[in-house]
Amino acid sequence: MKQQLVLSGLGGQGILFVTRLLAETAIAKGYPVLTSETHGMAQRGGVVISHLKVGDFASPLVRPGQADALLSLKGETLPLHLHFLKDGGFFSTNAKSVPAVAEGINGVLVDADSLALQLKDPQAVNLIVLGRTVAQPGKLFCTAEDIEDALRERMKGKEAALARALAAFRAGLEA
């Protein structure tokens, strides 16, 4: 298994949480993992980007044109990071419509902001987008069950937070 992922969004959206969750999922499956994060002006709502490599790689950064998938937690960041996708790559984004620059590229949309508000959990956008991504068969190295197991492990003893996280993730799966 070798897979290169780029995750992008704005400060406070939980990019780093999702990256670590995916890394823990990969480790639980026995895969080697490398990650790298760029925070920049994250505390002021600036762009945050994470690179995640699953498999046997020598460096953590994903080169432009090499990512298998791009998860964009804010539709506005999708055009900024589309250049990371390889030919035939896949994107998943939190948006109501496909930006013109992404037309013709393999990807899915989910209005995660609205779904998060319906769940009364505005911070759940990250798990909704992740759920929407995993709902696409074969796009990620793991299954929905693998991620739910990682969530349960990560949130041991925090039953209310786990219930909210699973509800958000499953909302993305069903979107």
**pLDDT higher than threshold 90 for residue 100:** no
pLDDT band at 12 (very low <50, low <70, confident <90, very high): confident
**pLDDT higher than threshold 80 for residue 98:** yes
What pLDDT is stored for residue 173 in this prediction?
A: 97
How far apart are alpha carbons 47 and 55 in whole angstroms? 26
**pLDDT higher than threshold 90 for residue 13:** no
- Phi and psi at 92, nearest 5°, equal -135, 130
pTM, two decimal places: 0.94
Q: pLDDT tens digits for 22-32?
A: 999 999 999 99
**pLDDT higher than threshold 80 for residue 44:** no
Q: What is the mean pLDDT of residues 121-148?
A: 96
